[in-house]
Amino acid sequence: MTTYTVVDIPPIAGEEERILSIVNHSEPVYLPITNIDPNKIRSGFACALHMHQPIIPAGPNGALISNLQYMFEHPHENDNHNAGPFTWCYRRMGDFIPELVNNGCNPRIMLDYSGNLLWGFQQMNRHDILDNLKKITCDPRYYVYVEWLGTMWSHAVAPSTPIPDLKLHMLAWQHHFASIFGEDALRRVKGFSPPEMHLPNHPDTAYEYIKALKECGYRWLLVQEHSVERPDGSGLRHDDKYIPNRLVTRNSKGEEISITALIKTQGSDTKLVAQMQPYYEAKGRGRQNIGDVSVPSCVTQIADGENGGVMMNEYPGAFHPVWYQIRDNFEGVVGLNGTEYIELVESLGVKPEDYPVCQPVGQHKIWAKVGDNITPETVEKAIEELKKEDPRFHMEGASWTNNISWVRGYENVLGPMNELSAKFHEKFDPLVAQNPSYTKTREYQQALLYNLLVQTSCFRYWGQGKWTDYAQQLYRRGIELCQ
């Protein structure tokens, strides 16, 4: 078995140049090893599981521990009795995939685990989970069936994350993932799954977000259908939700950047994946054209992989029969993973610039007001005017929990969060600019850890009280490290 060393600072920095050299390549990842012929299928379905537990200052003397550990230690609070079933959810794909493959099936699954969660496994010495995941991530017999998606290390929602920290979260996750699963596995991580499916819609934040993703080697981004619009402000055409799109964003200087996007449909509903709805929807879909090229359509979904009775109890019973059904009665419908699907589509002759274009929701209204005179001043003026004209207009981004604001009502977290980020960059940016290897130092990594942890979405999503108090504790420790 692999030996994992438990350390008080996770591996989140220090190898930036090496990490970026690994991830920034344009070679196909799954095309050379896939067993799917895109000419012989009419549709596919791609399912992703999102897994996360926050790190909280709730151990002895306020030590940093995983909320999963806290659940085990306090089984009578709230739904903490689910710690055991949750843990099974985190490890079970390492059992499911080999079983299905060894029985002649052709399964697919995408995995999105936050860095917080991975560190929690290490802190708890849960080698059973890590070794199970390593089996399907590193063994050539299985990794064609399993695609890891990158994410923010500390489950930060992008629209309210300080812009300089977007890339730090991405790099921290890549450092951590490589330390567990190796550089070859990291090289295959080309898709990105944003926490809460949250897409920034402020022009400058959206631009910097996509820029950071591309600098970190990502080829595509998973987005929620109602978080994007067509350039004319209309919603996505129905068929366009089942092929890759080109997400384009423009900043307040008029600069444009784009990335491929796969569209997750139908809002936040754990049952969609738990009951394998994407497979049954894909059975009703066929091939469609991108330009004059016929391609298979693909139904893409993501769900929390542990939350809710459906994921803990119904999913295993729904997951397995689908793959046996496809094996025994092939109808032109297959499971696919995101990068595999995009590479298969492009192998048919489609280019990224051929994809239908979308942009973050609400931006059409901004550009209609701004016209050709694009400057930071005209953009901000347009945003303020739109807010006055329409109380529903906002620049908080859009997510699969669109009824929740990640900004309003959380000034007691956001203010300190932004202050800590500013202090961190004020102290450490000059030191890193002078000596890039300074990111290897304990002083830098400790301060970075607290800066990233304060930005964890759970400290807002789970309401005022204990969770915002956790954020305040992390903020105070971070500020001390940035003095």
Per-residue pLDDT of the chain (483 residues; tens, 9 = 90+): 343 344 589 999 999 999 999 999 999 999 999 999 999 999 999 999 999 999 999 999 999 999 999 999 999 998 899 999 999 999 999 999 999 999 999 999 999 999 999 999 999 999 999 999 999 999 999 999 999 999 999 999 988 899 999 999 999 999 999 999 999 999 999 999 999 888 999 999 999 999 999 999 999 999 999 999 999 999 999 999 999 999 999 999 999 999 999 999 876 677 899 999 999 999 999 999 999 999 999 999 999 999 888 899 999 999 999 999 999 999 999 999 999 999 999 999 999 999 999 999 999 999 999 999 999 999 999 999 999 998 888 776 554 444 444 344 445 567 788 899 999 999 999 999 999 999 999 999 999 999 999 999 887 655 567 888 898 999 999 999 999
pTM equals: 0.94
pLDDT of residue 449: 97
Query: Residue 155 — left, alpha, or beta (φ > 0 → left; ψ -120 to 50 → alpha)?
Result: left
Contact 350, 367 (CB under 8 A): no
pLDDT of residue 3: 39
CA 64, 156, 11: angle at the middle one, nearest 5? 50
pLDDT of residue 243: 98
Longest dimension (CA), the chain: 65
